[in-house]
Amino acid sequence: MLDRTTPLQQNEALSSARFAGSAVPLAALALAMMLGFTMMGSFGTVQESAKAELHLSDYTLSLVQGVSAALPLALFSIPIGILVDRFNRVRIMIALVALFVAGTALTGAARSVTVLFAARMLVGIGTTGALTAALSLCADLCAPAQRGRALLVINLGKSLGQALSFGLTGALFGLFVAGRVPALPAVGADTPWRAAHIALALLGATLLLPLFLLREPARQEVSAGTRAPFRVVAGELWARHTFLAPLFMGQISVVMADAAAGIWAAPVLSRSFGLRPDQFAGWMGTLIFGAGLLGAVVGGLSADWGQKSARRGGLLLGAVAAAALGIPAALFPIMPSAPLFAAALGTLIACGAVTGVVTSVALTVFIPNELRGLCIGAFIAIAGLIGFGVAPMLVAVASGLFGGEAHLAEGLALVGVVTSAASVAAFALAMRRAPMRD
């Protein structure tokens, strides 16, 4: 019998089979990212106990929580990206996961601010670096047409980790406080917050083992070679600057809106709606996870769908639409009720997750393999510094223009709307300048 399938159908069948065969390594990478983002947010959940024991001020806590996360982004994201482009990524991934596990253990053992700061830096370096390696590996485990779904798996691991940083860490802390699980004085974990971190580190060390079963996949879409001189790599990067510049501007603008919302949403709930933290912590955590999960799914599917369109830069259609929806959603701080506040904030978070996945897919599809790690690392560094370093201050400045701290909601809404509008324009420009694919 004659085979009546078309070449396109045959390619799609091969791509689907390849994606199915990559399920186990993708799951291992997602598990690693879940661990990383759980440990990256774990200290924030129990920081009040650490503050009391170590006699820390709020200013010191802001350094431990903020600067220790920003420094790894600024100093290590780009170098790790270059290593990912040139060397065995599975080995790099294992080393970075081991680093954030060690940092979590050191967090539990820290007896001084200096050691605690260093411990949180190790967690930040390991987690953000591992994300770069995971995205690069993910791209080579499947065909370009399947990358939206593949990167969706990694982002689901990240979203689950962010949720577990509250849920799992809080549950462990509660078990040690209640005495249902004995403390671990033998390893210096004689208080619940310390024991919770040691327990997380032990769990992480166990769940690190699946990574040793991974094999380095062949690199796809290599243009100049992974060992090309830096001047050649720089030339390739510059040749794509008209596309990369608006793409970065679009996603950095989204990160600014999301970072400002994440930092100032709780104060707005307290000041504008009179809610205490214990009254909104539960539904806020659920909202963040649910919106991030929905956005990751939509982003992955829209990226794969967009690639099938004949339109230039069609892959970015989902990012343009999500950024546009983010403009009215950024008005969440001035909503008249808490339910409407939650609905608008959830929409903004979901839109940010959509653009994040689409941007990641775009980098793996339009950029040669030897540039991907560098591009991802540069994006993480720049977006992190601007998003977490500039956006919160802009909100304070904007509220001052409205009349002071009592107008925090208005200032936050203004920054969110302006940055969201800027992201729409930037993503639309990136679409028009996207490289043509054969």
Question: Domain tally for the chain?
Answer: 2
Instruction: Read off the amino acid at residue 235.
Output: G
Regarding whether 163 and 38 lie in a shared domain, the answer is: yes
Highest mean pLDDT among 280-284, 308-312, 423-427 belongs to 423-427
Regarding whether 378 and 406 lie in a shared domain, the answer is: yes
Instruction: Read off the amino acid at residue 437.
Output: R
Reading the block at residue 70, the tokens are 């920003």
Reading the block at residue 54, the tokens are 């170590």
Residue 238 lies in a domain: yes
Regarding whether 256 and 146 lie in a shared domain, the answer is: no
Regarding whether 273 and 162 lie in a shared domain, the answer is: no
Highest mean pLDDT among 143-147, 264-268, 274-278, 335-339 belongs to 335-339
Q: Is the pLDDT score of 38 beyond 50?
A: yes
φ, ψ at 399 (rounded to 5°): -65, -30
The boundaries of the domain holding residue 243 are 230-438
Cα–Cα distance for residue pair 260/251, rounded to 1 Å: 14
Domain end position, chosen among 195, 220, 245:
220
Regarding whether 212 and 234 lie in a shared domain, the answer is: no
Cα–Cα distance for residue pair 339/301, rounded to 1 Å: 28
3: DSSP letter? -
CATH number for the domain spanning 85: value is 1.20.1250.20
Q: What is the DSSP string of 251-308?
A: HHHHHHHHHHHHHHHHHHHHHHH---HHHHHHHHHHHHHHHHHHHHHHHHHHHHHHHH
CB 391 within 8 A of CB 419: yes
Model confidence band, residue 228 (pLDDT cutoffs 50, 70, 90): low
Domain end position, chosen among 201, 220, 239:
220
Q: Give the per-residue pLDDT at 165.
A: 78
Cβ atoms < 10 Å from Cβ of 33: 25
Which SS3 state, helix, strand or coil, does residue 377 take?
Answer: helix
Reading the block at residue 277, the tokens are 């933290």
pLDDT for 370-379, tens place per residue?
677 777 777 7
Regarding whether 211 and 184 lie in a shared domain, the answer is: yes
CB 347 within 8 A of CB 258: no
Regarding whether 203 and 56 lie in a shared domain, the answer is: yes
Nearest to 368 by CA among 270, 232, 211, 271: 232
184: DSSP letter? B
Residue 6 lies in a domain: no
pLDDT for 129-160, tens place per residue?
898 888 888 878 887 777 777 777 888 888 78
189: DSSP letter? B
The radius of gyration computed from the CA coordinates of the chain, to the nearest angstrom, equals 22
Q: Give the per-residue pLDDT at 406.
A: 80
Residue 330 lies in a domain: yes
Regarding whether 367 and 303 lie in a shared domain, the answer is: yes
Nearest to 137 by CA among 196, 178, 96, 104: 96
Regarding whether 238 and 134 lie in a shared domain, the answer is: no
Regarding whether 434 and 327 lie in a shared domain, the answer is: yes
Nearest to 40 by CA among 157, 188, 139, 184: 157
Regarding whether 248 and 151 lie in a shared domain, the answer is: no
Regarding whether 206 and 236 lie in a shared domain, the answer is: no
- 87-91, 278-282, 320-324, range with the lowest pLDDT: 278-282
Q: What is the DSSP string of 84-128?
A: HHHS-HHHHHHHHHHHHHHHHHHHHH--SHHHHHHHHHHHHHHHH
Q: Give the per-residue pLDDT at 227.
A: 55
- Sign of the alpha-carbon dihedral angle for 8, 14, 15, 20: positive
Q: How distant, in Å, are the alpha carbons of 49, 175, 177, 194, 352 from that of 53?
A: 6, 19, 14, 10, 37
